[in-house]
């Protein structure tokens, strides 16, 4: 370890504070950023370079070293983007960066990663999955509701575990969730999900709740159902119905989006429902489905599973 303050450490602390307080990034994300940028700062410190004068050539040398040590292309791309983001923030906040002309860290580039299409479930497999949980005990009723809501809305596992009682409107058949960047959005669900949620709320949740718990989905101890528990129940449901591939919550999200596009959903509607900040992120589902976009929002919503009778303009 260095016996002196490494150049850029103080500025890195300010940047991580900005990510936490302003951008509302998760603890996990901030930790990864700290790790990636700190390693780069230590690398240039060993070469007696300052964070404010280092250039693209130095950064590319660092990335080549990572490559030589067996770091994967995907990880190298992520690290390069992280380092460049730090320098973009430094520049935007007024720090003086004085690299050699034409060698600015703001222009650090990496080869584009090959796009990998996400896996999706066929509709028949989704139907089997949603019918996999049998029984009338509280856990079974809850698990059916979880599966139905995951597929009906395409929400992330972190979003479904954060749902409180106040977030679900059964009359409007919609749920409010907080997504990435602490952004709120409204997701709609159809009749199958409504039926499963209504039964959970009426018959199962009262058996699970203890005290004034506001979380919507509860475990057997009356506490908020964890992400790990939902990942486990989704995986077990896939195994139970004989789906050959590993089944996980995000696979249902990919399947939800792909099936919407296959049925004519406007890509902008799918973008909103998924909570994507850019349509470019959502565009990948058109490649999976092979379908073209529809122009009508009503069509997109009516084509969602079980939603034909609930959409009101």
What residues are annotated to the active site?
156, 180, 250, 253, 276, 285
Residue 53 is classified by DSSP as T
Q: Parallel, antiparallel, or unpaired for β 168-169 and 184-188?
A: unpaired
Burial of 59 (C-beta count, 10 Å sphere; 0-12/13-18/19+): buried
> How is residue 163 written in tokens?
């749902």
174-178, strands of its sheet edge to edge: 168-169, 174-178, 184-188
What distance in Å separates the CA atoms of residue 131 and residue 65, rounded to the nearest whole number? 51
Find how far residue 271's CA is from the centre of its chain.
Answer: 13
Task: Say how many residues make up the chain.
Answer: 313
How many CB atoms are closer than 10 A to CB 277?
A: 12
What distance in Å separates the CA atoms of residue 91 and residue 95, rounded to the nearest whole number? 6
């Amino acid at each position: 370890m260095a016996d002196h303050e490494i150049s850029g450490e103080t500025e890195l602390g300010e940047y991580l504070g900005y990510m936490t307080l302003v951008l509302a990034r998760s603890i996990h994300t901030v930790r990864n950023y700290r790790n990636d940028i700190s390693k780069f700062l230590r690398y240039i410190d060993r070469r007696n370079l300052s964070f404010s004068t280092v250039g693209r050539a130095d950064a590319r040398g660092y990335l080549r070293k990572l490559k030589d040590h067996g770091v994967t292309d995907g990880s190298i791309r992520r690290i390069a983007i992280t380092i460049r983001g730090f320098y973009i923030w430094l520049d935007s906040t007024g720090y003086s960066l004085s690299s050699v002309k034409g060698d600015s860290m703001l222009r650090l580039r990496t080869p584009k990663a090959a796009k990998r299409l996400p896996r999706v479930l066929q509709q028949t497999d989704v139907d089997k999955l949603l019918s996999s949980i049998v029984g009338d005990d509280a856990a079974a009723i809850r698990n059916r509701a979880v599966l139905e809501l995951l597929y009906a809305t395409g929400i992330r596992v972190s979003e479904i575990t954060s749902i409180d009682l106040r977030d679900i409107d059964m009359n409007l058949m919609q749920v409010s969730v907080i997504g990435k960047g602490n952004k709120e959005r409204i997701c709609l669900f159809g009749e199958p999900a409504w039926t499963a949620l209504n039964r959970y709320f009426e018959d199962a949740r009262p058996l699970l709740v203890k005290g004034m718990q506001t979380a919507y989905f509860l475990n057997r101890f009356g506490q908020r159902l964890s992400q790990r528990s939902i990942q486990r129940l989704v995986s077990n449901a896939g195994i139970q119905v004989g789906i050959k591939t590993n089944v996980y919550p995000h696979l249902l999200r990919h399947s939800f989006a792909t099936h919407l596009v296959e049925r004519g959903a406007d890509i902008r509607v799918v973008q909103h429902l998924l909570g994507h900040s850019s349509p470019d992120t959502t565009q990948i589902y058109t490649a999976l489905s092979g379908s073209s976009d529809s122009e009508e929002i009503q069509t997109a919503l009516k084509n969602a599973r079980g939603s034909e009778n609930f959409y009101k303009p």
